[in-house]
């Protein structure tokens, strides 16, 4: 009788594998983010078809206090490095650091054919690349709302949006499988400062019914329409008129329109401008060259002229609105600024809102300012000293209604913000199954005007940058810094004679940030004895320096954890020299001798006192 199971197995081997529509097929358009999802910063979104990749934005994320010694966080570019044979071009929506700050690091590792950037962003990128040798070769092509980029597979068009920096653009990307609208950072302001949003073009795009909308989610939890920039300008002008003495205003250097409003208000009130903070000075300089900020040289005060100018004719614009320790306002508040010393008559204005996580730093600065007697004004329900550059929930609804996409993917925000934006889209009538809340590295497939989430994903990790290092070593170094901060360091110094294969002296243990040595002499001596005994055993046979180091670590680390419940970094130091060890032994003996006479004298003095 034939075996049915074998028949079934034989039948199954001839069956073709089932078609899985979630797997990437040849001819698909792939959509994925390497940064910007689940976080506010390091925005980088990729659109890939065949041998072309369109990249939108390339930003950095500024680290929090938990990232010790890290200057920037950038996306992991390994996928783009692996795809170096594919043609890649970079499109920039606007000139903020979370959208352009990663460009130098990207160009050092990835071949980019061209960078397309709006006017103001182009000027900022050129300034940034001038600080990095060899990166000026990549062509930077200026674009505006009427520009069009055409490659073999992509057609990219643009429309004006409103943001806190000039020349902010939304992007329409057309691929062989369908079209995608990428908003960049945006808001709707019915009385804007600068260029208005292109409502007509957005509505026209909506008539064509694009397949996917990818929209800014930063303020998805804010209910009402945001305050107009003109309302903020009126508030600042009123404060300026009422102030009788010196004005100090802190704001974001990147908020070019706000900086311009402050300057215009100061000039109307007969005040001259002094600018402090490197980023603020750079932005004002570029904005003046481009005509965005109009101010004469005679209306700008040099640092030396401040002390010679009456207080009621001075307005100081500076960085530090987020409590950054090295920013101008922090140094002013601490009394360490070279040119500015606080006076009780000063009025200090924060024209900004705290970025999440910065509230405690800002409060410390405000407390110091109050202690100096200055009048401090910050955004509250009682004033309009700041407005956001990102769309609130109602403005996000308007964008959804204008574009009318078939599918939706919230971008640019923490996970909570993405989920809130998802709910907003559902409220406007978008089917929940047509909304994709993704993480960095997740892949959406655009196939014949249909969006599918792939089973596969790319690497979407963070890379920590210390200085200009982009090797990724900083990522590993950060772990050591955390261990050092929490548990400290223990160095074990041993002297050996490798020719005779013997230890010349007992190990010497030095501790930093682990235990207080004076109170832990017994622990240190015991540790030295245990390491010495282990090494004596190890040195009975021929060994290598690497094996000696491993012996020290494997002996000392468990002992220290058992005694203290802490895991310090253990660093073995091997001296393969008789002469060096003899010098160390002499120094130790001399140190011990220098202590003994002092102790004898101290005892003698005590006896004399007792006799008296």
User: What are the residue ranges spanned by the domains of the chain?
Assistant: 27-224+389-465, 229-378, 488-600
Instruction: Using the predicted structure, report yes or no on whether residue 595 has a pLDDT greater than 60.
Output: no
Whether 10 shows a pLDDT value over 50: the answer reads no
352 neighbors 252 (Cβ within 8 angstroms) = yes
For 444, phi then psi, to 5°, come to -100, 140
CA-to-CA distance for 15 and 19, rounded, in angstroms?
12
Phi, psi torsion values for 236, nearest 5 degrees: -65, -40
pLDDT of residue 131: 84
Pairing of strands 212-216, 178-182: parallel
Mean per-residue pLDDT for 252-277? 93
Q: Which residues contact 590 (CB under 8 A, 6 or more apart)?
A: none
Q: Which of 96, 99, 390, 412 is catalytic?
A: 390
End-to-end CA, the chain: 118
Question: Tokens for 305?
Answer: 């002229």
3-state secondary structure of 18: coil
Reading the block at residue 67, the tokens are 């990232």
What are 19's two structure tokens? 């078609």
- Report the distance separating Cα 278 and Cα 319, nearest Å: 8
Whether domain 488-600 has CATH 3.40.190.10? no
Share of residues in the chain with pLDDT > 90 (%)? 57
Residue 13 scores a pLDDT above 50: no
If you average pLDDT over residues 123-151, what whole number do you get?
Answer: 92
pLDDT, tens digit (0-9, with 9 covering 90-100), for 61-106: 887 666 666 778 899 998 999 998 999 999 999 999 999 999 999 9
Q: How far is CA 476 from CA 314, 466, 484, 486, 549, in A?
A: 48, 11, 13, 16, 20
Distance of alpha carbon 354 from alpha carbon 362, whole angstroms = 8
Give dist(CA 495, CA 507) in Å, integer: 8
Q: What is the pLDDT of residues 494-540, one digit of tens each?
A: 888 877 788 888 888 888 888 776 677 888 888 889 998 888 888 88
Burial of residue 366, with CB atoms counted within 10 A of its CB: 0-12 exposed, 13-18 middle, 19 or more buried = middle
Distance of alpha carbon 103 from alpha carbon 304, whole angstroms: 36
Q: What pLDDT shows up at residue 153? A: 97
Give dist(CA 279, CA 396) in Å, integer. 31
SS3 (DSSP) at 492: strand
SS3 574: strand
Distance CA 119, CA 534 (A): 68
pLDDT of 593 strictly over 80 = no
Q: Does residue 497 carry a catalytic annotation?
A: no
Q: Considering 76, 98, 216, 442, which one is annotated as catalytic?
A: 216
Question: Which of these ranges, 16-25, 303-312, 391-400, 519-528, has the smallest mean pLDDT?
Answer: 16-25
Check if 390 is active-site: yes
Q: Using DSSP, state whether 96 is helix, strand or coil.
A: coil
Domain 229-378 class, CATH top level = alpha beta
Instruction: Report DSSP state, residue 17.
Output: P
The C-alpha atoms of residue 136 and residue 125 are separated, in whole angstroms, by 10
Going by C-alpha positions, the residue among 121, 163, 161 that lies closest to residue 141 is 121
Class of CATH domain 27-224+389-465: alpha beta
Contact assessment for residue 187 and residue 395, using Cβ atoms and an 8 Å cutoff = yes
According to the model, what pLDDT value does residue 1 have?
A: 40
Q: Kindly give, in sequence order, each residue whose CB lies less than 8 Å from that of residue 266, ignoring residues fewer than 6 positions away.
A: 240, 247, 272, 273, 315
pLDDT the model gives residue 484: 75
| CA pseudo-torsion sign 536, 541, 546, 551 | negative
Task: Identify whether the C-beta of residue 228 lies closer than 8 Å to the C-beta of residue 164.
Answer: no
Q: Hey, CA dihedral for 68, 71, 34, 76, is it positive or negative?
A: negative
CA 505 to chain CA mean position, Å:
49
pLDDT band for 141, please (50, 70, 90 cuts).
very high
Give the pLDDT of residue 602. 45
Phi, psi at 520, each rounded to 5°? -130, 30
CB 143 within 8 A of CB 118: yes
Note the pLDDT of residue 554.
Answer: 86
Would strands 44-49 and 29-35 be described as parallel, antiparallel, or unpaired?
antiparallel
Lowest mean pLDDT among 351-360, 412-421, 447-456, 506-515: 351-360
Six-digit token pair at 76? 């992991």
Give phi and psi for 25, each to the nearest 5. Answer: -110, 160
Is 46:449 a contact under the CB 8 Å cutoff?
Answer: no
Which helix (H) or strand (E) segment holds residue 491: the answer is strand 489-497
Rg (CA), the chain: 32
6-10, 99-103, 442-446, range with the lowest pLDDT = 6-10
> Using 50, 70 and 90 to split pLDDT, how confident is the model at 584?
low
Phi-psi region of 80 (alpha: psi -120 to 50; beta: other; left: phi over 0): alpha
Q: In what order do the strands lie in the sheet with 148-150?
A: 148-150, 155-160, 169-175, 178-182, 212-216, 407-411
Select the highest-mean-pLDDT range: 169-183, 324-338, 370-384, 472-486.
169-183
pLDDT band at 471; cut points 50, 70, 90: low
Alpha helices in 325-441 (DSSP H): 328-334, 359-371, 393-403, 415-427
């Amino acid at each position: 009788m034939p075996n049915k199971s074998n028949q079934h197995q034989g039948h199954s081997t001839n069956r073709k594998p089932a078609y899985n529509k979630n797997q990437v097929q040849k001819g698909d358009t792939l959509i994925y983010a390497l940064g910007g999802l689940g976080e506010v910063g390091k925005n980088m979104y990729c659109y890939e078809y065949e041998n072309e990749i369109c990249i939108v934005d390339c930003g950095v994320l500024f680290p929090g206090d938990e990232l010790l010694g890290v200057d920037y966080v950038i996306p992991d570019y390994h996928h783009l490095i692996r795809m170096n044979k594919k043609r890649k071009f970079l499109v920039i929506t606007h000139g903020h650091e979370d959208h352009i700050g990663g460009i130098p690091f990207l160009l050092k590792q990835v071949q980019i054919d061209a960078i397309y950037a709006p006017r103001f962003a182009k000027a900022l990128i050129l300034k940034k690349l001038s600080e990095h040798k060899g990166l000026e070769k990549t062509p930077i092509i200026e674009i505006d709302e009427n520009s069009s980029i055409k490659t073999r597979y992509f057609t990219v068009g643009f429309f004006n949006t409103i943001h806190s920096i000039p020349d902010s653009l939304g992007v329409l990307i057309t691929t062989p499988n369908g079209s995608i609208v990428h908003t960049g950072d945006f808001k709707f302001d019915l009385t804007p400062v600068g260029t208005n949003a292109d409502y007509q073009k957005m509505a026209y795009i909506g008539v064509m019914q694009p397949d996917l909308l990818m929209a800014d989610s930063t303020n998805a939890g804010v209910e009402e329409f945001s305050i107009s920039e003109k309302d903020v300008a009126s508030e600042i002008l009123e404060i300026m008129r009422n102030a009788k003495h010196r004005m100090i205003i802190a704001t974001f250097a990147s908020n070019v329109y706000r900086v311009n409003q402050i300057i215009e208000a100061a000039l109307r009130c007969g005040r001259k401008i002094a600018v402090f903070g490197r980023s603020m000075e750079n932005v004002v300089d570029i904005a003046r060259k481009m005509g965005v900020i109009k101010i004469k040289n005679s209306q700008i005060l040099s640092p030396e002229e401040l002390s010679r100018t009456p207080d009621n004719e001075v307005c100081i614009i500076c960085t530090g609105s987020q409590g950054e320790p090295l920013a101008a306002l922090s140094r002013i508040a601490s009394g360490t600024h070279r040119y500015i010393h606080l006076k009780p008559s000063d009025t200090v204005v924060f024209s900004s809102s705290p970025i999440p996580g910065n509230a405690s730093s800002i409060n410390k600065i405000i407390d110091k300012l109050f202690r100096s007697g200055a009048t401090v004004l910050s955004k509250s329900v009682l004033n309009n000293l700041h407005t956001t550059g990102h769309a609130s929930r109602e403005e996000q609804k308007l964008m959804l209604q204008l574009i009318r996409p078939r599918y939706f993917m919230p971008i640019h925000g923490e996970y909570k913000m993405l989920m809130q934006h998802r709910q907003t889209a559902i409220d406007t009538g978008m089917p929940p199954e047509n909304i994709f809340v993704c993480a960095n590295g997740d892949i959406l497939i655009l196939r014949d005007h249909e969006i599918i989430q792939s089973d596969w994903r790319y690497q979407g990790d963070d890379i920590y940058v210390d200085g200009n290092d982009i090797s990724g070593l900083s990522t590993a170094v950060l772990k050591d810094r955390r261990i050092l901060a929490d548990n400290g360091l223990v160095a074990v110094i041993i002297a050996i004679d490798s020719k005779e294969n013997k230890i010349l002296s007992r190990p010497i243990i030095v501790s930093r940030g682990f235990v207080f040595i004076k109170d832990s002499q017994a622990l240190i001596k015991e540790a030295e004895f245990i390491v010495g005994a282990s090494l004596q055993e190890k040195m009975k046979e021929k060994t290598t320096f690497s094996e000696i180091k491993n012996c020290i670590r494997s002996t000392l680390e468990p002992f220290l954890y058992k005694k203290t419940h802490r895991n310090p970094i253990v660093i073995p130091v091997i001296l393969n020299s008789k002469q060096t060890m003899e010098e160390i032994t002499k120094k130790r003996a001399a140190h011990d001798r220098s202590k003994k006479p002092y102790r004898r004298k101290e005892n003698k003095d005590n006896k004399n006192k007792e006799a008296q």
